[in-house]
Amino acid sequence: MAGCRLHSAHGRHNPPGQLPIDPKTGEKQLGSIEEQSEQALDNVEAILKFAGSGLDRVIKATLYITDIALWEQVNVVYARVFGEHKSARVVMPVKELHFGFQIESEVNAIQILG
């Protein structure tokens, strides 16, 4: 993905935190928390696929949200996107995020070598 720094070493991928910005258009997704969550997690998935990994190889996800009351809506999207895969997960309420977003997602994933 153009413009994305992916930090990879020793079979681990650590993409930078992803905001809900469409990587093709640069458009900021400032809609509902569900729409923002979907875009941020889609960005994570695209970066991992580019690196030869995937959501099923995520070992830890950290979700920064601007209000813990948003957790239920975020969790619905997270469960749909990740499916049966259950990684370690941290939800971190923060005062605010860049550009007025309500969510930022960050993951650590492994590369299956073989």
29, 20 in Cβ contact below 8 A?
yes
Residue 98 has pLDDT above 90, yes or no: yes
Residue 15's pLDDT band, with cuts at 50, 70 and 90, is confident
Residue 22's pLDDT band, with cuts at 50, 70 and 90, is very high
| CATH number of residue 24's parent domain | 3.30.1330.40
pLDDT given for residue 2 in this prediction: 40
Task: Confirm whether 70 is domain-assigned.
Answer: yes
Residue 33 has pLDDT above 80, yes or no: yes
Q: What is the DSSP secondary-structure string of 55-108?
A: GGGEEEEEEEES-GGGHHHHHHHHHHHHTT---EEEEEE-S--GGG-SEEEEEE
Domain that holds residue 85: 7-110
Task: Confirm whether 1 is domain-assigned.
Answer: no
pLDDT given for residue 16 in this prediction: 84
56, 85 in Cβ contact below 8 A?
yes
pLDDT given for residue 19 in this prediction: 96
Domain count, the chain: 1
